Chain A
Amino acid sequence: MPDALITPELLRRLEQFQLLAARRAKSSAKGERRSRARGQSVEFADYRTYVHGDDFRYLDWNLYGRLDRLFLKLYEEERERPVRMFLDASESMTFGEPRKFDFARQVAAAIGYVALSGFDRVSVNPFPDLVNGPESDPAARTMELAARGALRSVRGKKSALQFFQNLGALTAGGSANLNQALRRGALEARRAGLAVVISDFLDPEGYEAGLTALVGRGFQVDLVQILAPDELSPTTFGDLNLVDSETGAHQEVTFGRFRLKAYRQTVQNFVQRLREYCQARGINFFTASSNTDLQDLLLKQLRKAEVWG
């Protein structure tokens, strides 16, 4: 399954990257991220006066020789940083050629692999929850529930293969509520870390409340917006009866080539509004079409956007 998501060659290239964190890790588990906590590592942090009961091993004997006073060397504690990915698995993500959802999984796999390589804990929150459709296969549903459960917490590079398999097992469908999913994720997290939201953000309810909840919880948020080529520049014209894939609402529209420019402007405005919202809140924002070259996106564009380095 990993081959379907990401090639071994690309994986090797990704190993050299490290997710960039502007904030110190706050997790309690040990890891490789710098934290404000003091503990055992090779990174010197500060001195403090010796008090009774301190471990002699950390006394600075050179300093004692010069000052005749006992000082204890303190080291930074290196801790893990949880990476929480919110993956839009709604019906709208099944559109596009290639499918937006496939592209989103590939991006998620790449980010997850970089995080796992850095000994960070990765959790993937696909939303909406799996719907129990009348025609759905119970076995497949069980499989996917298991995969979703496994994706909630993954740690260690050795789990990468399993991580990819579980991502590959995910399916998209149903109507999503982005705000609700993000808000719930923010509440559930015991420790804030890096939150990566991968979605098309085409939610009639908006995205502001969810993102505000994440930022408020202390997450460093990265947004990856994925749009289908057909959404950026429609190819169907005439008198249309549009059916919304998620809500099922019918809308009549008369659309001609003369209006293509105005439509593109509408899309640009939508993306620009989202970008400005992110900039105002220190959120990394990135948008891509689902037909973008994955290697180019991961190795050049995301690096340039300082998602990793």
Chain B
Amino acid sequence: MHFLAPLAFLFAASIPVVIVFYLLKRKRVVKLVSSTLLWRKYLAETQASAPFQKLRKNWLLILQIILLALVVFALARPYFATKAKPAQLRVVILDASASMQATDETPSRFEKARAEALKWVDGLAGNDQMVVLQAGANTEVKQSATTEKAALRRAFQACVCSDGPTRLVPALKMAESLVRDLDPRTNPEIHLFSDGAVPELNEFENKALPLVFHRVGKDANNVGITALDARSNPEDARQRAIYASIANFSTNSQQTEVELLFDDRLLETRSITIAATETSPQVFLAAQPRDGVFTVRLTAKDDLAVDNQASIVSLLPKPVKALLVSRGNRLLERALRAVPNVELAVATDLTDPATGFDFVVLDGVTPTVWPGGNVLAIHVVNTNWVQGVTQVESPPIVDWKSAHPLLRYAGFDNVQVMQSLSAKTPTWATSLVEAPQAPLMFAGELGRQRIIWIGFDTLESNWPLRVSYPIFVANAVEWLNPANARSGQLLVKAGDPFRLALTEPAASAQVTLPGGAAKSLTLDPSASELVFGDTLKQGTYKVRLGTNDTVFCVNLLDAAESNIKPHEAVELGKYTKVTATTKHRANMELWRTIAAIGLLVLLFEWWYYHRRTV
């Protein structure tokens, strides 16, 4: 053992002082008693003739000397010169997703998880480090690696539960990067405090992640809205159809009132009963006098409140202005005209960017000036979009993406193509129809421009004779209609950024949050779009840009998140899973106990002294 401050042993000189105090004669009160016979037991303790005999068995003195010796010992700052054990790193991931707001734990899962995590902070050994990550819709580093417990506690206190879904992959990636290159002897650990409602984590299957899963949550009593959409009523164009999917995730059937509101005005209420683990689709029909917000609300008392309400911005349908640039394709033209609410213009060439149209259909005509808006390009080559275009003869159609909105109800059975252009699918697009050589059709968004590219001339195929052709055209009109694209942008999932294209440069914008708080944004004058990321709380947001107001809605609408059943394990792929730990291992520091013992010794000494005197 060594000492950092050996000079402190000079304080040991105070020990004889204590002894001298004991040798000093106490002033005693003289009292005449009948006989000292009954006092003999007490006389024996203090009888002393020689000074040092007085000090024998004097526990008060011994206690005081022990205390003083300990103080001197501590002041000398003793230490052991040993090989320092490498510091351990613990990465704590606190799930801050919507499901953590569930109140099956008191007061909530998130608070319980926070309290558990704080216990681990208390149990952190002297030189061990901890990192605090908050995993909600986004991953936030609340505290980088530190040994300072106060900072770690502050970091946990600063964590806020969001209304967004769990996106654990970025958090785990970050945690993995922190522990990956550490010395394995340091035994780094990633502690996940969550209810286990996490999306697939396949990519961590073979990473041997040192993950410890701390499960919170007990029950799964929840009814929630998992999908919401507003469209024109196909049977009555003056009405809007609001589609809501309501799921019951509890093990009992649940009854709830479903309310439909338009701009906070109650339109309709219906009572429904949903069987256990079932989903009930609900369609409301309502007249819509103006652009506004439809809100669907559930009145059921369940453990998770955030998914009991969802809103959607519904814009009044406007006629779609389309321009067909073609040398003559009656089938295509007829198919376009068959789509309701389309105002079609036809031209043989395009000499301007066609800004007056919602979208342009290029049917085998390479325009003089490429359009600036959305485009359906058929058998046209634009080198900005595709490269290395070749010609293929009679390409057989082997596959198509029937799940894509463009191919909804539009199959490519019995469609033959005589010849087609073939190009590699660009990075911004998704291949929709596949031939063995190359895609025949792809669609995607380049910049703010939606593009559908078809490699073959439809007139050189039997596709226009198939029933899927007009359906595809109708789907294409809907997909390319900028109003639809815009209303899609106005429905944002909690935690996702809201993007708004700027028609003219603006210096600032003001966003009103659901609670009524306002946030000012400073924009780059050269920016072409506004991006607002603070969408952690669900509700209706309002963006004021100059004199224009844009309303958008933030919702959870996530079945995985609404299913608040706590999971026993976190699955990392098919074959790996991390079971919830039941251990609450924590390195309890001893200094508090030792200090308490010291205090008890002091109290005992005080008591002993008073017992002897009065």
Q: How far is the CB of B423 from chain A (nearest CB, A)?
A: 101
Q: Are A237 and B614 in contact (CB under 8 A)?
A: yes
Residues of B within 8 A of A300 (CB): none
Q: Does B34 contact A (CB under 8 A)?
A: yes
Of the candidate stretches A68-76, A105-113, A151-159, A263-271, the one touching chain B is A263-271
B34 pairs with A252, CB closer than 8 A? no
A interface SS class: mixed
B38, A254: Cβ atoms closer than 8 Å = no
Query: Which of the residues B26, B27, B33, B42 comes within 8 Å of A95, measured between beta carbons?
Result: B33
Which residues of B are found within 8 Å of A254, using beta-carbon distances? 42, 45-46, 612-613
Asked whether A255 and B42 contact (CB < 8 A) given A202-B37, A244-B36, the answer is yes
CB closest chain-A residue, reference B42: A253
* Chain A residue with the shortest CB-CB distance to B35: A202
- Check if A239 is an interface residue, CB within 8 A of chain B: yes
- Are B34 and A242 in contact, with the CB atoms below 8 A? no
- A262 to B42: give the CA distance in the assembly, Å: 10
User: A256: shortest Cβ distance to chain B, in Å?
Assistant: 5
Give 5 closest A-B pairs by Cβ, nearest first. A258-B611, A202-B35, A92-B34, A95-B34, A241-B28
| Chain A residues near B47 (CB-CB < 8 A) | 251-252
B614 and A202 form a contact (CB under 8 A): no
A249 and B34 in contact, given A239-B27, A254-B42 (Cβ under 8 angstroms): no
Given A94-B34, A231-B38, A256-B614, output 6 extra A-B contacts at Cβ < 8 Å: A241-B29, A242-B32, A243-B33, A255-B42, A263-B38, A266-B38
User: B584 on the interface (CB 8 Å rule)?
Assistant: no
Question: Interface residues of A toward B: which range?
Answer: 35 or more
The residues of B that contact A238 with a CB separation of less than 8 Å are 28-29, 613-614
* CB–CB A245/B46 < 8 A: no
Q: Is A236 a contact of B35 with CB atoms below 8 Å?
A: no
- The interface residues of chain B lying within 8 Å CB-to-CB of A133 are none
| Residue in chain B with minimal CB distance to A255 | B42
- Taken residue by residue from 257 to 282, chain A's Cβ proximity to chain B (1 for < 8 Å, 0 otherwise) reads as 11100110011001000000000000
B34 lies within 8 A of A245 (CB): yes
B46 near A236 with CB under 8 A, answer no
| Distance, CA A203 to CA B47, complexed state (A) | 21
Q: B41 contacts the other chain (Cβ, under 8 Å)? A: yes
Nearest-CB residue, chain B, relative to A236 = B31
Q: Is B43 in contact with chain A by the CB < 8 A criterion?
A: yes
Instruction: Tell me if A200 and B42 are in contact (CB < 8 A).
Output: no
Cβ of B290 within 8 Å of any chain A Cβ, yes or no, is no
A92 to chain B, nearest CB (A): 4
Q: A202-B38, A239-B28 are in contact. Are A253 and B43 (CB under 8 A)?
A: yes
Q: Does B50 contact A (CB under 8 A)?
A: no
Chain A interface (Cβ < 8 Å from any Cβ of B) = 91-96, 100, 200, 202-204, 228, 231, 236-247, 249, 251-259, 262-263, 266-267, 270
Is there a chain A Cβ closer than 8 Å to B24's Cβ? no
Contact B34 A228, beta carbon cutoff 8 Å: yes
Instruction: Let me know if B39 is at the binding interface, CB within 8 A.
Output: yes
Docked-complex contact B38 and A267, CB < 8 angstroms? yes
- By a CB distance below 8 angstroms, the chain A residues around B30 are 240-241, 243
How far does the alpha carbon of A231 sit from the alpha carbon of B28 in the complex, in Å?
20
User: Which residues of the other chain, A, contact B28 by a CB distance below 8 angstroms?
Assistant: 238-241, 252
Residues of A within 8 A of B27 (CB): 239
Q: How many A-B residue pairs have CB under 8 A?
A: 102
Q: Does B2 belong to the interface (CB within 8 Å)?
A: no
Interface range, B side: 20 to 34
In Å, the complex CA distance between A254 and B27 comes to: 11
Interfacial chain B residues near A266, Cβ < 8 Å: 38, 41
A-contacting residues, B312-327, CB 8 Å:
none
Q: Is the CB of A92 within 8 A of B31?
A: no
Residues of B within 8 A of A267 (CB): 38
Cβ-defined contact, A256 with B612, below 8 A: yes
User: Does residue B610 face the partner (Cβ distance < 8 Å to A)?
Assistant: yes
Provide 30 A-B residue pairs closer than 8 Å at the C-beta atoms, listed in order of the A residue: A92-B35, A94-B34, A95-B33, A95-B34, A200-B35, A202-B35, A202-B38, A203-B35, A203-B37, A204-B35, A204-B37, A237-B613, A238-B614, A240-B29, A241-B31, A242-B33, A243-B30, A243-B31, A245-B35, A246-B34, A252-B28, A252-B46, A252-B47, A253-B42, A254-B45, A256-B614, A258-B611, A258-B612, A263-B38, A267-B38
CB-based contact B34/A236 at 8 Å? no
**Which residues on B sit within 8 Å (CB–CB) of A95?**
33-34
> A243: which B residues are within 8 A, CB to CB?
30-33
Q: How far is the CA of A256 from the CA of B60 in the complex (A)?
A: 15
Q: In the complex the two chains form, what is the Cα distance from A226 to B46 in whole Å?
A: 29
What's the Cα separation between A203 and B38 when bound, in Å?
A: 10
Assembly CA distance A91 to B28 (angstroms): 24
Interface residues of B in 379-433 (CB under 8 A from A): none
Q: Output the least CB separation between B229 and chain A (Å).
A: 83
B34: contacting residue among A200, A239, A255, A270, CB under 8 A: A200
Tell me the complex Cα distance, A270–B39, Å.
11
- Tell me, in angstroms, the Cα distance from A240 to B29 when the chains sit together: 5
- Interchain CB contact (< 8 A) of A257 among B26, B35, B46, B614: B614
**Interface hub of A252, A253, A255 (most chain B Cβ within 10 A):** A253
Give Cα A202 to B37, complex, Å. Answer: 6
The closest CB in chain A to the CB of B46 belongs to A252
Task: Please give, as numbers and ranges, the residues of chain A lying within 8 Å of B46 by CB-CB distance.
Answer: 252-254
Complex: A126 Cα to B87 Cα, angstroms: 90
CB distance from B39 to the nearest CB of A (A): 6
Known A239-B27, A239-B28, A241-B31; contact A249-B36, beta-carbon cutoff 8 A: yes
Return the CB mask of B255-285 against A: 1 if under 8 Å, else 0. 0000000000000000000000000000000
A240 / chain B contacts, CB cutoff of 8 Å? 28-31
Q: Which residues of B contact A253 (CB under 8 A)?
A: 39, 42-43, 46
Q: How far is it, in angstroms, between the C-alpha of A244 and the C-alpha of B26 when the chains are bound?
A: 20
In the assembled complex, the Cα of A91 lies from the Cα of B43 at a distance in Å of 21
> How near does chain B come to A266, taking the closest CB pair, in angstroms?
6
| Cα(A94)–Cα(B35), bound, Å | 11
Residues of B within 8 A of A249 (CB): 36
A251–B39 Cα distance when bound, in Å, is 9
Separation of A252 and B35 alpha carbons in the complex (Å): 13
Q: In whole angstroms, how far apart are the Cα atoms of A89 and B119 in the complex?
A: 77
Residue of A nearest to B37 (CB): A202
